[in-house]
Amino acid sequence: MATKREQREQTSAALRTTARRLFAEHGYAHVGLETIAQAAGVTKGALYHHFSSKAVLFRQVLADVQNEVGEQVQHAAEAQPDPWTYLVEGCRAFLTASTHPDIQRIMLIDGPSVLGWNDWRALDEQSSARLLTEALTTLIDAGTIPRQPVEPAARLLSGAMNEAALWLAQSGNTDADRDATMTALTRMLTSLK
């Protein structure tokens, strides 16, 4: 028999999973708390016990999504033999992960508009943006790329990849466009050397 704490954790996880699916399918603006509660098999009161508002629930779903993407990026990067390919493959993994429709909808489309730019960036800093900054710092310290301020470089690369992911979401020829985007990304990264 599950303890009360385990039950709370299970309910919270079920609500986040259900909300994630619904936010990805319909978008934040088109999903109500009643719909989430019903789909998760709980009362609206139980939902409010865990999340004080739809925005709070969305923030947690977004944090889950960003952590998932960050883990995918880190896994791909850490499989590489050197810091340069760590950066390149990490960036490629970010683009690959963020081209998944539910990731794009939650992380790149609804995330900034629902939370606001500053809160969205703060969550991003805890996951893939942090990894990007760390990779660039390592490459600068090793002399692989010229000494420069890391923050602007990380933000420029992050912005370029976010924009590319959004463009890929709208492209008509996703596989060919993804390949072309990966080629352009690799050239852009190589120009840092």
At 15-34, the pLDDT tens digits run: 999 999 999 999 999 999 99
The answer to whether the pTM exceeds 0.95 is no
pLDDT at 6 over 90: no
Question: Is residue 120 exposed (0-12), middle (13-18) or buried (19+ Cβ within 10 Å)?
Answer: buried
Q: 89 near 45, Cβ under 8 Å?
A: no
**CA geometry: angle 18, 31, 61, nearest 5 deg:** 45
User: Is residue 23 packed enough to be buried (19+ CB in 10 Å), middle (13-18) or exposed (0-12)?
Assistant: buried
Helices then strands (H, E): number in the chain?
A: 11, 0
pLDDT digits (tens, 9 = 90+) for 34-70: 999 999 999 999 899 999 999 999 999 999 999 999 9
- Tell me the pLDDT tens digit for each residue of 102-160: 898 999 889 999 999 889 888 888 877 888 999 999 999 999 999 999 999 999 999 99
Q: Does residue 178 surpass a pLDDT of 90?
A: no
CA 153/CA 150 separation, integer angstroms: 5
What is the structure's pLDDT at 93?
A: 93
Instruction: Using CB atoms within 10 Å of the CB of residue 60, give its burial: 0 to 12 exposed, 13 to 18 middle, 19+ buried.
Output: middle
